[in-house]
Copies of this chain bind each other. A is one copy, B any other.
Amino acid sequence: MSAPKKVVLAYSGGLDTSIILKWLQTEYGCEVVTFTADLGQGEELEPARKKAEMLGIKPENIFIEDVREEFVRDFVFPMFRANALYEGEYLLGTSIARPLISKRLVEIAAETGADAVSHGATGKGNDQVRFELAAYALNPDITVIAPWREWDLSSRTKLLEFAEQHQIPIAKDKRGEAPFSVDANLLHTSSEGKVLEDPAEAAPDYVYQRTVAPEDAPDTPEIITIGFEKGDAVSINGEAMSPATILTALNDYGRKHGIGRLDFVENRFVGMKSRGVYETPGGTILLQAHRGIEQITLDSGAGHLKDSIMPRYAELIYNGFWYSPEREMLQALIDKSQEHVTGTVTLKLYKGSVFTVARDSDHSLYSEAHVTFEEDAGAYNQEDAAGFIQLNALRLKLLAARDRRLKD
């Protein structure tokens, strides 16, 4: 590949990506375009504009966007239709944000005539893979620059030296090293590294930033009702809301009740295990609610098929294959199943837990007429069960007869 001339950088405005910005200018001598997205990480974006300007970025090369609605509508909600959990427990809060960022990087590159994109993910993690697979899938000719894999700024000291040398302002609290690394968006906050690196040691309390401790949550449970249409949440307590508004509201409920904390050791795509602390307050409530509404609206054939492909779907998202034919094929399957996933679920929130207590739907497949312990007026003929069992047993009987025959 030839040297890039213009690069779109995923820019947070923080120290690390500011150093990357400057490094791209000096190392590659190329024009830099910054893209700063509001994914609900809870930080002001305008300071990023000022910093970018200060670092010499032309105003027309500064892109700052609120993508929260797109994030929830086109990424988070489709994923939740699948009840996706990575390795049984993780709600994929970081993984699902990366494809959106890459998509905008590639689109802005096309708009601005840039031939490269760049990100601040390290060479040990999953995020580099997610950023880059998405970028290449959307533009096979794009160049991706991953400074952490290239440069020799391999220690905190060197980074700070580089910053000072290039007049990059260093906030006082950034002088020392953070005790762990954080990523946040509307779906979750993740923490990893440093004080969390020994999985045999409990995580310190101060790691948790997004939720109150269950012990500090209200002593009284709270009951809420979530409305669904075709698999997506559309209302809380009867009030219709947009996707991002709903997730924001669920985050507030979850934070208050200490819901969605997870201390987890996972397998990274790059081959090592890592330990993370995740806080997914609204997402944890949403998953439980979605399962609740599926319980009455999804047929067993559909539900069991979804369950059986879910781990693969989650793995694809975790590994960075959002823009792959197989993820899209699985999404087609999942979306097909959600046509009747419409109704309301009532949940109880209490000190770290979310319980489904009731579900209701015009689309319900639950038939009290069939299941009742009372007289069912012929809805179900118990004698059918005898034939059902006999034919299900037939092959087992033939197996047992063989065993007996061979023993004799």
Contact = CB atoms under 8 A, between A and B. Distances in A.
A136 B396 contact: yes
B273 A296 contact: yes
Given A267-B300, A329-B337, A332-B332, A384 B381 contact: no
Contacts of A387: 381, 383-388, 390-391
A375 B296 CA distance: 45
A393 B136 contact: yes
Interface string A332-373: 111111001000001000111101111110111111101111
B392 A129 contact: yes
Interface residues of A, number: 131
A36 B391 CA distance: 29
Contact of A388 (B202, B333, B390): B390
A155 B375 contact: yes
Given A148-B382, A273-B366, 19 more contacts: A87-B307, A89-B291, A124-B380, A133-B393, A136-B397, A137-B396, A146-B385, A155-B375, A197-B372, A199-B364, A214-B350, A263-B356, A265-B295, A265-B296, A271-B394, A273-B365, A304-B326, A351-B352, A384-B388
Interface of A: 83, 87-89, 122-124, 128-129, 132-133, 136-140, 146, 148-149, 154-155, 181, 193-194, 197-203, 214-215, 219, 221, 261, 263-268, 270-275, 291, 295-296, 298-312, 315, 320-321, 323-326, 328-330, 332-337, 340, 346, 350-353, 355-360, 362-368, 370-373, 375, 380-402, 404, 406
